[in-house]
Amino acid sequence: MANIQAKQGLLGTRLATHLLRRATYHITPARIAAFANQTATEAVDKLFNIPSLTHPEGPINWEDGTTAWLTTGPYDNGPAANMGPRRRAIWFWAMNESFHDPSIRHKLAFFWHGIFVTESSNDWREFELFRLFQLFAKGDIRQLAYKVTLDNKMLIYLNNNTNDKGNPNENYAREFLELFTILKGETIDTGNYTNYTEQDIIEAARVLTGFNNASFSNKDPETGLATGLPNYNQHDPGNKQFSAAFDHQTILGAVDLDDMYRELNDFVNMIFAQKETARAYVRRLYRYFVSDRINDEIEQDVIEPLAQQLFDDDYVVENTLKTLLKSNHFYDEDDSSNSDEIIGGKIKSPLELVMTSINLFEANQIGILNNNPDHYNQTANWFLYSHLNYMGFEVYPLSVEGYPGFFKGPNYSKFWFDQATIAFRYRLSYSLLEGRSVKNNRVLPFQIDLVNFFHNNFNHQEYANELLQQFLSFALPEMPEGDRYDYFLQKLLGSLSPINWMFEWQNYLATGNDESVRVALSDLFEAVVDSPEFQTF
C-alpha cells in the first residue's frame, strides 16, 4: 500500500542523493553529506528556502558589456539581426541560475515551462514567461495560469492577440483546457471530453476576446513584468454559459475595460474549482518528481489525497509537493522492497544529466556570467546547441504539448533515450573530462579536475574497494553488486592488484605526480558515467 506519511529518521547518503537528484540541479558532494545527516522533513524544507537569483538583473548586453539590458531596458536595443544572441543570452542566463540555485525553484520553473509552452520564435519574450515560472515556482498555480494567459509571448504564440468578438479564435481557449489546466478526460460523446466540451471551448474563447499583446512598457503591477492589454471594443460583452462539466455555470460578461480582468478571473476560478484540475496537476508533479508509472494503487493512495491537499490549499503547490517529497513512498519505503520502484526508476532528461553531472563532479561551472559578453553568444551557442540540443533537449519545447519525456505517455522519460541521442549521451564522460561539447568538440566552460575531485571528496583513497564504494554511492542510484561491482573495480585497478593501487596512490601523495592514478581514475570515471545506470535516477 502506497504511503505518503513522512519518512522518519536520517536520510543517509543513498536517500539524500535521491532527493537532490530529483528536486534540484545543484547536487554536490558537500550537499549530499549535509543532507545525509538530515531528516526528510528537514531536507525538503531546506529545498523550499528560495534564495535570491545569482544575477537578478538578467543577462548583460552582449554588444557593449553593460548589465541588465532586459530589466532596465530598452528591450529592443540593437538591430533585429541580433535576435539570435539575445535569445542565447536569455537562456544561458536561465541555465546559469539553475546551476547555482540550491533550492527547488528551477526544477519547478522547468516543470512549468514544460506545461505552459511557447514556441522558439525569433524574439526575446520568453524571458518574461520564464521569469513568471521563477516567481511562481512554488506558489499559486491558479494565479500563474491567469498571468500566463495575459503574457505577451503567450498571446502571440497561441493567437489570442487576434481573438476578438467579430473574429473569434479558439486556439488558446482549447489549449488552456486540453493541455494547460484540467486536461481531456475520456471522450464520452461527440465533442464531450468528460472534463469539458467543445461548447465550453467556444464560451472560453468568448471570455478571452479583446486581450492584445502590448509594448513591453506595460507592466504587471504585481510582478513588474510586461503584460498584455485589454481592449473592450474587441471584447464579447455577453454572458457565457458553460456545460454540465462546470455545473452549467454562467460567467457574467464584462461591462467595461477594467471588468474584463474580473471576467477572466471568474473563468480561471471556474476551471480551478474542479477537483479534476487538481488531480491533473498532481499526476504531472508525480510523473516529473517520482515515477512514470501511475497504477490504481498510486491513484488511490497518492494522487487522490495529494489532489485534495492541493485543492484545499487553493492551488498553492508548496505543501502538496513537500508532502510528496517527504513521503515514505518517494523513498520507496512503503513496501517490503526499498529498491524496486522509485529510486533509479526514471531516465534523466539531458538537462538533468548534464547540469547535475557538472555540479556533482565539481567541474568548473558555468561561472560568473555578467562580466563576459562572449558567454552570451559563442559559449552559449555551443553549450545550448552543440551540447544539450544534440542530447535531445531543445531549449524550447517543439510543440504546445511540451517535452514528451516529462508529460507524454506511455513512454514518458524513456523518450529521452533513443537512437538519435544515445551516442551523444554516452559522450558525456569525454565532455566532462575534456571540457568539450558532445557535438563539434566545442570548448565549454566546465571541465573536471579528476584527481583533485577524488582527492578532496573521499577518504582512504588508497584502498580500492573503499574508494569505489564511496564513488558509486552517489554516482549511481543503487550500489552495484556481484559481477557488476567487480566490473567497476576492474576498471579502477586495470592490471594492478589492490596492494599495487595503494602504492600508486601513496606515491602520488608523496611526489605530486598523478599520471598513473589519473589514468586509472579516468578509466573508472568513463565506465561509470557511460554506464546505463548513470542514465537513470
Q: Which of 248, 273, 298 finishes a domain?
A: 273
Average pLDDT, the chain: 91
d(CA 321, CA 285): 8
Residue 231 resides in a domain: yes
Q: Which of 245, 273, 301 finishes a domain?
A: 273
Q: Which residue range forms the structural domain that includes residue 197?
A: 142-273
Query: Would you state the cell numbers that stand for residue 1, as one nine-digit string?
Result: 500500500
Residue 385 pLDDT more than 90?
no
Tell the burial category of 24 from Cβ atoms under 10 Å away from its Cβ (0-12, 13-18, 19+). buried
Q: Tell me if the bond preceding 230 is cis, omega within 30° of 0.
A: no
User: Where is pLDDT greater, at 69 or 30?
Assistant: 30
pLDDT of 95 reads 87
Residue 242 resides in a domain: yes
pLDDT of 77 reads 42
Q: Which of 412, 197, 473, 390 is nearest to 286 (CA)?
A: 412
pLDDT one-digit tens code per residue, 83-127:
677 777 778 888 889 989 999 999 999 999 999 998 766 555 666
Tell me which residue has cell 505518503. 4
Section 33-47 average pLDDT: 98
Section 417-422 average pLDDT: 91
Residue 393 resides in a domain: no
Section 199-212 average pLDDT: 97
Residue 80 pLDDT more than 60?
no
Residue 219 pLDDT more than 60?
yes
Q: Do 322 and 515 touch, CB atoms closer than 8 A? A: no
Beta bridge partners of 240: 251
Q: Which of 133, 199, 117 is nearest to 400 (CA)?
A: 117
Residue 416 resides in a domain: no
Range from 94-98, 313-317, 364-368, 431-435 carrying the lowest mean pLDDT: 364-368
Sequence-separated contacts (24+) of 465-468 with Cβ below 8 Å: 465/489, 465/498, 467/492, 468/492, 468/524
Range from 31-45, 116-130, 400-414 carrying the lowest mean pLDDT: 116-130
Task: Kindly give, in sequence order, each residue whose CB lies less than 8 Å from that of residue 131, ignoring residues fewer than 6 positions away.
Answer: 223, 225
How many domains does the chain divide into?
2
Residue 205 resides in a domain: yes
Q: Which of 244, 273, 302 finishes a domain?
A: 273
Residue 18 pLDDT more than 50?
yes
Q: Which of 534, 111, 107 is nearest to 361 (CA)?
A: 534
Residue 457 resides in a domain: yes
Residue 78 pLDDT more than 50?
no
Residue 32 pLDDT more than 90?
yes
Q: Do 325 and 289 touch, CB atoms closer than 8 A? A: yes
State the pLDDT confidence band at 13, using cuts at 50, 70 and 90: very high
Residue 511 resides in a domain: yes
Tell me which residue has cell 532596465. 72
Tell me which residue has cell 471522450. 187
Section 468-473 average pLDDT: 97
Residue 377 pLDDT more than 50?
yes
Residue 123 resides in a domain: no
